[in-house]
Amino acid sequence: MSASHGGAPAPAQFPPPVDPQGEFIKHGLDPEDDLIEVGVAIVGGGTAGLSCANRLLQLLADDEELLESLGEVPVAVIEKAKTCGGHNLSGAVMRPGALQELFPDVTREDWRAEGFAFGAVCDEAVYLMPSATKAVKIPTPPPFKNHGNEVISVAAMARYQQRLAEEAGAYVLTETAATQLIVEDGAVVGVRSGDKGRGKDGQPLRNFEPGTDVKAKCTVLAEGCWGHLTGAAIREFGLAEGREPQVWELGVKEVWRVPKPLDRLIHTIGPWPLKLKAKYGQIGGTWLYPMKDSKTGDDLVSIGFVIDLEYADATTSAHDLLQQFKLHPLVREILAGGERVSWGAKALPAGGWWSMPKLTMPGALLVGDSAGMVDTVALKGVHHSVLSGKLAAEAIYASLKRGDAVASVEGYEAAVNDSSIGQELYEVRNTRQPFQKGFLRGGPLVNLMIMTKGRFPGGRRKWHRNDAKPMFIGDTKNGYPKPDGTYTFDKLSSVYITGNATRDDAPNHIRVRKRVPREVAETWAWMCPAGVYEIPDEAPSHGPVDVIVNYTNCVQCGAITAKGGRLTTPEGGDGPLYRNL
Amino acid sequence: MSGILAYALHYEGAFNKNSLGGVSEAARLAEQAGCVAHAVVIGDVSDELAATLGHYGVTKVFRAKDAPEGLAQPVVDVMAKVMDDNGHDYALFGGGLLGFEIGAGLAARLNAGVTMEVTQVNVVDGKLTAERPIHGDSSISTSSYKDRGIIIGRLNAFETAVPGESAAEVEDVTVELSEASQRLKMVTRGEQRGADVDIEGAKILVAGGRGLGKPEGFELCEALAEALGGAVAATRAVVDAGWYPYSTQIGQTGKTVSPKLYLAAGISGAIQHKVGFQSSENIVAINKDSNAPIFEYSDLGIVGDLNKILPKLTEAVKAKKG
């Protein structure tokens, strides 16, 4: 395992101490008296999960007989945050069609009045950033065109969808983590909720409440980026066979209240503040979106930095790169005189078409980010999540209607592939892979693919696993500003405003290997936007390091899973409480 | 409005510091709103001790001699009766877990509004409104009350007034305890987490962080605290690492303190820790990293090696005290 000689170490050489199949798959249900029985169990109350719940309830509303046959709880949504949306974050500029189709009677004006939409895009601009002071406006590449799309907050949208779902009869269990997938006779039969009230060493405290088996006719895995149970399901049912590995990006976002409204939607595609040299392996970009809060009249700006987790310089930190990016005159002008009102971070799946796992297994299916439905060329996934939830609901309804003994939802995969999700993701199936060779070498090929809508050069382009990338300790960190506490911030101040106050004596929910090379330890410490990983002062500058894991800072972004660790579900209710991200 | 009733907790012949803050706040608000401020005490309180609440501005003290002190339910019974008989519109508590419990019970009993963890109370059109930080203290929520209101302060939120001369009138009240109250009995009374030091009450705190380097580093803090006549506190990082007990943890998920002197040794000063001591009167920081955020809100900062500075400081303090 020692990688100190014979080349730079890669995080994959130091896998976390975790046995996903043994720990996260439960074989067989508890006895009838000890379990909760529901019709359909949806794991995750985010965009896709709640779209699925709402569509299902729409269909069941017109089918009283079937609704009654599902018992007291026809649809249950299991959400680990304090409220739906509490852990949801996206840019986000959304193509409106899918949501309009899901709720035909609700107008875009209604969305804005509900506080989750912030206006249609009129003007837009894309900039190259050659340096810390220069910005060059370029013609908007076709995938970046956003005219008519809506700027939204997925955290706020989830709250809205939660309310609709509850009004329609869904049972939403917030502050509840789903920790095990229950499999019986080769089919998913439900999930188990997590224990609450355990101490640091796992011992039950006085307020201990054990988890419960939730038995369901069909289970929907809507866990978002690299879901805890999704990963276990993919392995258990071989859903990734013949697919490319999933790859990831990490986004860090802030919302600012600004004195004057931003007049356009902005994307920048670097290279500054990233390094152009291929050895750094850095590909990323930024956004600045105007948000008009029609409830308060406030002018807000969503600003964020996204980086591929394929990078090689261990000192790459999305949090600090965002702070650095804010120093650019283009950004200063927009945020000047403003105030940061929120912050958050989230990883997202970036592999696209070739990395999408098989979407169904007996008794269960995958929707939204769990299924990897993000188009990282157009920088969009919210509309795919909404639509996939809707299509999943329709397939589940058909199965319930047929009275399948084990829900057979295979039609869902074909429906996804035939829909705009399949079409859009297929078109860009090969577009991003060349960037794994670097921005300069990959750039021309990417452009060619965009121009030909993916027809040329065709074929299937491979992805390289993020955690297999050898890491080196570079100098990206030298560009990060010293936080001033008003315009630029340190990680802990950022975590603070997420409202994260995880119980100090909770068990550690993060698995990382002890005694890792300095390169790997630094990768974790810099990458984590919440300051979870810390290198002890007395650690040797070469040789093995035991990182300190401040797991109570964790905002559950999931990036660690892409770079050699493993995020598992903490106690339900822990973590941040995002509002308008 | 006709009055504010503040609860004054006592233990071993002295009133609780937070209760005195609550009593002072009630008097201050009553003066502003043009109404009366009274206090209530439970159990064995001498006439002299009860009357000293007048020093903090209340004019009358209701005393329920026969009710047991330290339990929530009997206090709910007493306060509900006193408020009903005398027409108080608001009950005020200085802070602490007992206040939360009594306040919640009282709100249910009186069908009144209740706000906890209040950091400021204002008089608006002759009525009280309470401000409460929410979302990890990033926003403030303001409560007003349709009818009667129960306001429970955050620990140390209300400042104790400089004691005056006037004594309060003491009126004994007899309250028939509810069945629920009679079922309760005080068995023992002690500090919640087995702490033997009163971190929240200490006038001087020497706090240690990860910069101490090792658990033994706390010996330097203990020596200085002893010389200064103060107590030792800690950050979450070192409590997490098992260097010092949880009962001494200051910050967002620990205790909130406001001593006269907070000496931070080897503490970087992350906001999660800062919120626990930011209302200290004087903040002194020792850290080897001149970029540490703590220096931005210290009254006095020393950049250097605490292994050298702390022992010298201890010696100097001892020498000065003789």
φ, ψ (nearest 5 deg) of residue B172? -80, 140
What is the structure's pLDDT at A502? 77
A574 is a domain residue: no
A-chain residues near B253 (CB < 8 A): 501-504, 552
* pLDDT score for B281: 94
Instruction: Count how many domains chain A has.
Output: 3
Which tens digits make up the pLDDT trace of A117-130? Answer: 999 999 999 999 99
A420 and A438 in a single domain? The answer is no
If asked whether residues A345 and A375 sit together in one domain, one would say yes
Q: Which residues pair with B301 in a beta bridge?
A: B285
- The reply to whether A458 and A492 lie within a common domain is no
What is the per-residue pLDDT for A505? 84
Per CB distance under 8 Å, which residues of B are interface residues toward A?
Answer: 135-136, 138, 210, 213, 236-237, 239-241, 246, 249, 252-254, 270-272, 291, 293, 296
Rounded Cα distance between A514 and A521, Å, is 10
A201 CB within 8 Å of a chain B CB: no
Residues B220-247 pLDDT 10s: 999 999 999 999 999 998 998 889 988 8
* pLDDT at residue number A537: 83
Domain B3-182: give its CATH code: 3.40.50.620
Residue A573 placed within a domain: no
With a cut of 70, say whether residue A3 has pLDDT above it.
no
Under 8 Å CB-to-CB from A109, ≥6 apart: which residues? none
pLDDT for B195: 45
A188-214: per-residue pLDDT in tens? Answer: 999 999 999 999 889 998 889 999 999
- Same domain (yes/no): A194, A105: yes
Asked whether residue A578 is assigned to any structural domain, the reply reads: no
Which segments of A199-298 are extended strands (E)? 204-209, 213-221, 248-257, 265-271, 284-292
Q: What is the mean pLDDT of chain B?
A: 91
Mean pLDDT of A438-444: 76
Is B293 close to A505, i.e. CB distance below 8 A? no
> Which has more confidence, A578 or B155?
A578
Mean pLDDT, rounded, for A541-547 = 89
For residues A410 and A542, state if they share a domain.
Answer: no
Beta-strand pair A171-173/A75-78: parallel
Minimal Cα distance from B135: which residue of A?
A499
- Which chain B residues are closer than 8 Å to A298 by Cβ? none
**CA-to-CA dists, residue A452 to A351, A437, B35, angstroms:** 20, 21, 79
A579/B135 touch (CB, cutoff 8 Å), yes or no = yes
CB contact under 8 A, B296 and A485: yes
* CATH class as words, domain B204-321: alpha beta
| Residue A241 structural domain | 20-427
pLDDT at A2: 42
- Arithmetic mean of pLDDT, A12-19: 95
The CATH number for A88's domain is 3.50.50.60
Whether B236 and A504 lie within 8 Å, measured CB to CB? yes
Give yes or no for a contact between A253 and A300, defined as CB atoms under 8 angstroms apart.
Answer: no
Above 70 in pLDDT, residue B192? no
Q: Are residues A302 and A420 in the same domain?
A: yes
Same domain for A447 and A371? no
Contact A44, A224 (CB under 8 A): yes
d(C-alpha A557, C-alpha A509), whole Å? 13
Averaged pLDDT score across all residues of chain A:
93
Contact A501 B136 (CB under 8 A): yes
3-state helix, strand, coil in chain B (%, to 5): 35, 25, 40
